[in-house]
Amino acid sequence: MKRKTFPHGTHPPSFKELTAEKPIEFMPAPDKVYIPLLQHFTSPAVPLVKKGDAVFLGQKIGDSAALFSAPVHSSVSGRVLAVDQFDHPSGRPHLAVTVANDGQDRIPPEKEKIRDPMFLTPDEIRQIVRDAGIVGLGGAAFPTAVKLSPPKDKPIDTLLINGCECEPWLTSDYRLMLEHPEEIIRGADLARRALGAQRIIIGIEDNKPKALEAFQAHILHFPVEVALLKTKYPQGAEKNLIFALLRRKVPRGGLPFDVGVVVLNVATAKAIWDAAGERKSLYQRAITVSGIGVEEPKNILVRVGTLLQKVTDFCGGLKAGADLLILGGPMMGMALSTLEIPVIKGTTGVLVWTSAPLGLEYNCISCGRCVTHCPMSLVPTRLMKYIKFEKFAEAEAWGILDCVECGCCQYSCPAKIPLVHWIRVGKNKIVSLKRKKSA
């Protein structure tokens, strides 16, 4: 099978061997969960419960009428202890619902009877996905019901399923592909029907031959193709994946809709099947816990709202000297200062290290490595300089908003310039200025 790829990118070591052969292990729910009402792109949910209320497992506890939002559900049954500000993975406190777990996982008595998913209409599929609170589980947490509702003037012909998991260390998606290939395919087919698309292509990097075999054994009765991709970072970024598999280029400032494509992560596809086939809302997810600073690296199925302290304890605790905590992967993840942060829908992994001494930052030597490796064909050092000198219009003209913050530039920079930091600062400033202007 011919391997496909995209221009540029880089090849960081994968370090996936610590957990790749470890099946997903169920982690029992903790005695308390802290469930943020912001677990998705843009608008947070509004609380539907108050202190003292009894709640069921999977019950909706937050929702919003905003288009770019998603409901939030309780990950345990029990009683609401508080609806208050709580530390959030973003680094800022956000409104969260604290629930005391009664240990019974009681479900609502009026739970809807399950219809055969094969007879669901596109509108019914989209409504089930929205009601279940499903968002992109690759990390972006974009509301999936919105993705399944493209503009009428942008017909979708192809659904791409991202099975790359190109971030080093992370292997929970890989384990889902090995352990639940049929559910992923069935969820993808429901999404295809909701979109009115003709094709499904599952893209898998060539360092995952077992996942390729698992899918090939289950695609017989579905309009699904499996494509092999070269192992390269960031192969799983939407625009890169679209180019690699279809040779379509998403225009600057555009979206996959613009080239007739929607991209979903394998975990998101499985969540769609869980919602349609079993009426499960999104209250738990698979994550990888790894790194040289944790005693027992694992892939685990964890309830949303579980504190990272409980997660690492379940993995044997931290080794002596461990002092660097990353939420997500090492290339795009966020460093945290505390373990008292809850798992949310967008949490893909927890990595723990012993940090190295900070290196010195040097002046740019104009070597061009950041340009050579940038998968979006940007000039990161120029963008950095524009932001430093507050030339935001120039930065936007040079494509800063197209940056996917993959970290290839910073990883390859011999001068150790924190390019991604400057680009994030610039993007936030430009978006803020746009909002002020429109207001």
CB 287 within 8 A of CB 349: yes
- SS3 of 110, please? coil
- Residue 387 C-beta-side C-alpha neighbours within 13 Å: 24
**Which residues are bridge partners to 324 per DSSP?**
353
CA-CA distances (angstroms) from residue 396 to 239, 375, 387, 403, 407?
19, 17, 10, 10, 19
Instruction: Please tell me the predicted confidence (pLDDT) of residue 439.
Output: 74
Instruction: Please tell me the predicted confidence (pLDDT) of residue 111.
Output: 63
Confidence of residue 109 (pLDDT cuts 50, 70, 90): confident
Q: What is the pLDDT of residues 216-251, one digit of tens each?
A: 999 988 999 999 999 999 999 999 999 999 999 999
Instruction: Please tell me the predicted confidence (pLDDT) of residue 115.
Output: 80
Instruction: Please tell me the predicted confidence (pLDDT) of residue 41.
Output: 80
**Which residues are bridge partners to 257 per DSSP?**
none
Instruction: Please tell me the predicted confidence (pLDDT) of residue 306.
Output: 98
Two structure tokens written together for 299: 């892939």
- Output the CA torsion 76→82→83→85 (10° steps): -110
Instruction: Please tell me the predicted confidence (pLDDT) of residue 354.
Output: 86
106-122: average pLDDT:
84
CA 79 to CA 40: how far, in whole Å? 24
Location of structure tokens 């997660």: 311
294-305: average pLDDT:
98
Strand 298-303 relative to strand 334-336, pairing: unpaired
CB 177 within 8 A of CB 215: yes
Confidence of residue 112 (pLDDT cuts 50, 70, 90): low
What's the chain's average pLDDT? 95
Q: What is the pLDDT of residues 306-360, one digit of tens each?
A: 999 999 999 999 999 999 999 999 999 999 989 999 999 999 999 999 887 777 8
**pLDDT greater than 70 at residue 270:** yes
CA 205 to CA 195: how far, in whole Å? 25
Q: What is the pLDDT of residues 119-155, one digit of tens each?
A: 999 999 999 999 999 999 998 899 999 999 999 999 9
**Cβ neighbours of 343 (radius 10 Å):** 29
pTM for the whole structure? 0.95
* DSSP conformation letters of 381-403: HHHHHHHHTT-HHHHHHTTGGG-
Share of the chain above pLDDT 90, in %: 89
**pLDDT greater than 80 at residue 113:** no
CB 168 within 8 A of CB 290: no
Q: What is the pLDDT of residues 176-219, one digit of tens each?
A: 999 999 999 999 999 999 999 999 999 999 999 999 999 999 99
Location of structure tokens 């996982």: 105
CA 26 to CA 246: how far, in whole Å? 37
CB 27 within 8 A of CB 300: yes
* Direct distance between the N- and C-terminal alpha carbons of the chain, in angstroms, rounded to an integer: 53
Nearest to 297 by CA among 314, 321, 320, 322: 314
CA 172 to CA 170: how far, in whole Å? 6
> Which segments of 143-206 are extended strands (E)?
158-162, 199-205
Q: What is the pLDDT of residues 32-80, one digit of tens each?
A: 999 999 998 878 999 999 999 999 999 999 999 998 899 999 999 999 9
Q: What is the pLDDT of residues 3-21, one digit of tens each?
A: 999 999 999 999 999 999 9
Domains of the chain: 16-21+113-278 (3.40.50.11540), 369-438 (no CATH)
> Which segments of 19-59 are extended strands (E)?
24-26, 32-36, 46-47, 54-55
